[in-house]
Amino acid sequence: MAVWIATSYLGLHNKEGDMCTNAMSIARRHLGIIVRLCEMSEQDEPIAELVRATVRNCLLAMQTAGTEPMEAAEIIEQLLQHELAALPAERAKCRKVLEAAHLHAEYLTMAERRATH
C-alpha cells in the first residue's frame, strides 16, 4: 500500500519511539481515508468537506495521542506531499484533493500558531 511505503520512505515511523509510531499510525489511517476520497472525487462525488474534516480529525487525534501540534502537521503534510509526488499527472481530480488536504493542514497549523501566541 502506498501509505506504508510513504511512511517507510520518509523514515518517520521510527522517530521518537512509541508516541511517534502512534501518530504515524493515526496519520496513515487518515491518509488512507483521504486517498479513498480522492477516488470518490474522480467519480464526481462531492467530498470537499469530508477532506477538511478528515485532516482536522487527523491532527486532533495525533495531538490527543501526545504529539505536538507542529509535529502532527509535519507528519500529515509530508505524507500528503509524498502521495502527491507518487500520483500520475493524469489523475488531476485526485491531485486537487490531495493539494486541498495539504493546504488545509497548513491552514490549521497556522491557526493553531496564532491561537497559542
pLDDT digits (tens, 9 = 90+) for 17-41: 455 688 999 999 999 999 999 999 9
Please determine, for residue 69, whether its predicted confidence score (pLDDT) is greater than 80: yes
Average pLDDT across the chain, whole number: 85
Q: How many domains does the chain have?
A: 1
Q: What is the pLDDT of residue 116?
A: 79
**pLDDT exceeding 70 applies to what percent of the chain?**
83
What average pLDDT does the segment 91-100 reach?
A: 95
The model's pTM: 0.81
CA distances from 6 to 11, 60, 66, 76, 113 (A): 9, 21, 22, 11, 27
What domain range includes position 65? 2-116
Q: What is the pLDDT of residue 88?
A: 93
* Residue 16 burial (10 A CB sphere; 0-12, 13-18, 19+): exposed
Q: What is the pLDDT of residue 20?
A: 65
